[in-house]
Amino acid sequence: MQKYSFYNDYSEGVHPSILELMAKTNFDQEAGYGNDSLCREAEGLLMAAIANPQAAIHFVSGGTQANQLVLASLLRPYESVIAANTAHINVHEAGAIEATGHKINLIATDDGKLSADQVLEVVAEHTDEHMVKPRAVFISNSSEVGTVYRKAELESLAAACRAHDLYLYLDGARLGSALTSREADFTLADLGRLLDVFYVGGTKNGALIGEAIVINNPALQKDFRFHLKQRGALLAKGRLLGVQYVGLFRENLFFELARHANAMAERLIRGIRKLHFSFLTESTTNQIFPIFPDGLIAELQQLYGFYTWARTGPDFSAVRLVTSWATRAEKVDEFLQDLERLTQHIK
Ligand SMILES: Cc1ncc(COP(=O)(O)O)c(C=O)c1O
């Protein structure tokens, strides 16, 4: 029997309504390399959502690619990027940023988030040309440990960045989940105002593949298509990416799907709390990190797919459970029933 997966939010394919839109437009002849009518419509929809008609929007196929492209295009050879130690660019991108010749200045965090003060400390430590020059700040919303930056935190980071000539870049692989979290007090329009660059993640929120890079800062817009081309990211069939964002943003699908993923995560949290387990972080998004005894984890892993994330004590570890637009409530309930049964059995 195949185990039900809580490994990640890309276990399933694509939301059926996007697939339908792909089929409907399949025989339309379109221009290549993102110059097609679907990309144009998707750009228009995104610009309206972020309330920045001056933004430049580019569709790429994955998150690592987006991060590498954006940061390599922002930074001069001796410049660096500041990020949390948990940042995806630090832990899970095989050195993609370092491979472009840029150092990542790391800040230790428990909650996956950076504060303006922490950023300023790093800036203050870099005094002259014998060191790298921090020039960009990388944040993820939601973060890699499920937490959410609130509007005031984003505003304070943006102000610190502006005051110190730093670009603020937000990795939005799970932006849908952050925007629809019960904690979220910011909108896409706030991101259009506060960030130099960010991306709106599609892959983890109902698209087959795709991330939409939004360059708000006009000074950073020039020649981005050359960067795309040189790194193999300018797809001849760019329409594939455009059509998916039309599907996500023509109605409210992007938000509906993220809301569903969050609701499934909350359902898990409620059930797990009832059994008196604690969590590594206070997540309000679709990645949660309950702490279980190692024996229980081994038994649960016979039945479900999920990652063990971090050791938290001699016999305890945090695991990562990820829900998605396609997670079924009955599977969440089955997981909780199995958890309760195994917990009693282990006691
Ligand atoms: C926050 C974040 N950024 C970037 C990525 C990278 O995405 P990809 O695997 O498409 O390169 C991920 C993927 O898990 C992620 O969680």
Ligand 1 centroid to 65 CA: how many Å? Answer: 9
Report residue 107's pLDDT band, with 50, 70 and 90 as the boundaries.
very high
Neighbours of 84 (CB within 10 A): 27
pLDDT tens digit sequence for 246-276: 999 999 999 999 999 999 999 999 999 999 9
Query: Cα-Cα-Cα-Cα dihedral of 225, 226, 227, 228, to 10°?
Result: 50
Rounded Cα–Cα distance for residues 87 and 64 (Å): 12
Rounded Cα–Cα distance for residues 194 and 214 (Å): 12
Total residue length of the chain: 347
262 pocket-lining for ligand 1 (C-beta < 6 Å): no
Q: Which residues pair with 105 in a beta bridge?
A: 82
109 pocket-lining for ligand 1 (C-beta < 6 Å): no
* Contact assessment for residue 25 and residue 211, using Cβ atoms and an 8 Å cutoff: no
pLDDT tens digit sequence for 61-94: 999 999 999 999 999 999 999 999 999 999 999 9
State the alpha helices, DSSP H only, in the chain.
16-24, 37-50, 63-74, 88-91, 116-125, 151-163, 175-179, 188-194, 224-230, 239-249, 253-274, 294-303, 329-346
Residue 129 scores a pLDDT above 80: yes
Neighbours of 197 (CB within 10 A): 26
Rounded Cα–Cα distance for residues 109 and 87 (Å): 10
Rounded Cα–Cα distance for residues 272 and 85 (Å): 28
What is the residue type of 319? V
Residue 176 buriedness (CB in 10 A; 0-12 / 13-18 / 19+): buried
Which residues are CB-neighbours of 5 under 8 A, at least 6 positions away?
11, 304, 305, 306
pLDDT tens digit sequence for 28-50: 999 999 999 999 999 999 999 99
62 pocket-lining for ligand 1 (C-beta < 6 Å): yes
Report residue 1's pLDDT band, with 50, 70 and 90 as the boundaries.
low
Pick from 268, 291, 294: which is nearest to 278 by CA? 291
Rounded Cα–Cα distance for residues 289 and 319 (Å): 5
* Model pLDDT, residue 158: 98
Taking the mean position of all CA atoms in its chain, how far away is CA 106?
19
Given the structure tokens 């479900």, which residue do they identify? 304
Pick from 305, 312, 272: which is nearest to 288 by CA? 272
Nearest CA residue ID for atom 13, ligand 1: 63
Ligand 1 centroid to 322 CA: how many Å? Answer: 13
DSSP notation for 41-76: HHHHHHHHHHT-TT-EEEEES-HHHHHHHHHHHH--
Sign for the pseudo-dihedral over CA of 293, 295, 300, 306: positive
Residue 2 scores a pLDDT above 90: no
Residue 347 scores a pLDDT above 80: no
Q: CA-CA distances (angstroms) from residue 60 to 39, 40, 202, 224? A: 11, 14, 10, 12
Q: 304-305 and 79-84 as β-strands: parallel, antiparallel, unpaired?
A: unpaired
* Model pLDDT, residue 345: 75
Rounded Cα–Cα distance for residues 158 and 195 (Å): 7
90 pocket-lining for ligand 1 (C-beta < 6 Å): no
Taking the mean position of all CA atoms in its chain, how far away is CA 78?
27
63 pocket-lining for ligand 1 (C-beta < 6 Å): yes
Sign for the pseudo-dihedral over CA of 48, 49, 51, 55: negative
Ligand 1 pocket check: which of 7, 61, 64, 90 to mutate, most ligand atoms within 8 Å of Cβ?
64
323 pocket-lining for ligand 1 (C-beta < 6 Å): no
